[in-house]
Amino acid sequence: MSDVAATARVVRALGARSIRQTFRRPQLISPIVVFPTLLLAVQTGGAGAGVELPGFPPVQSFLQFMLAGSMMQSMMLAGNSGGIAFAVDIEMGFTDRLFAAPIPRFAIVLGRLAGTAALGLFAAIWFFAIGLIFGAEIEGGVPGALLATALVTASALAVGGIGAAIALRTGSASVVQGLFPLVLVVLFLSSAFFPQELMVEPAKTIAEYNPLSFIVEGVREPIISGIDATQTLEAVAAIAGIVVLGLMLSARALRHRLRVG
Write out the binding residues for other proteins, residues 62-91 only, by CB under 8 A: 89
- CB of 158 closer than 8 Å to CB of 236: no
- CB of 12 closer than 8 Å to CB of 108: no
Write out the binding residues for other proteins, residues 9-28 only, by CB under 8 A: 9-10, 13-14, 17, 20-21, 24-25
Tell me the window of 5-13, 45-53, 134-142, 237-245 that interacts with other proteins (CB under 8 A).
5-13
In the complex, least distance from residue 160 CB atom to other proteins, rounded to whole angstroms: 19
261 binds other proteins (CB under 8 A): yes
In the complex, least distance from residue 86 CB atom to other proteins, rounded to whole angstroms: 12
Write out the binding residues for other proteins, residues 238-257 only, by CB under 8 A: none
Binding residue for other proteins (CB under 8 A) from 2, 4, 54, 100?
100
Write out the binding residues for other proteins, residues 177-216 only, by CB under 8 A: none
Nearest alpha-carbon partner for 189 in 180, 202, 176, 178: 202
In the complex, least distance from residue 14 CB atom to other proteins, rounded to whole angstroms: 8
Write out the binding residues for other proteins, residues 221-240 only, by CB under 8 A: none
CA pseudo-torsion sign 82, 87, 88, 93? positive
Nearest alpha-carbon partner for 118 in 11, 210, 41, 190: 11
| CA angle at 63 for the pair 57 and 68, rounded to the nearest 5° | 75
Q: How far is residue 224 CA from its own chain's centroid? A: 20
- CB of 126 closer than 8 Å to CB of 210: no
Task: Indicate the residue among 99 and 134 with the shorter CB distance to other proteins.
Answer: 99
96 binds other proteins (CB under 8 A): yes
Q: Output the 3-class SS for 44-69.
A: HHHCHHHHHCCCCCCCCCHHHHHHHH
List of residues contacting other proteins (CB under 8 A): 1, 6, 9-10, 13-14, 17, 20-21, 24-25, 89, 92-94, 96-103, 258-261
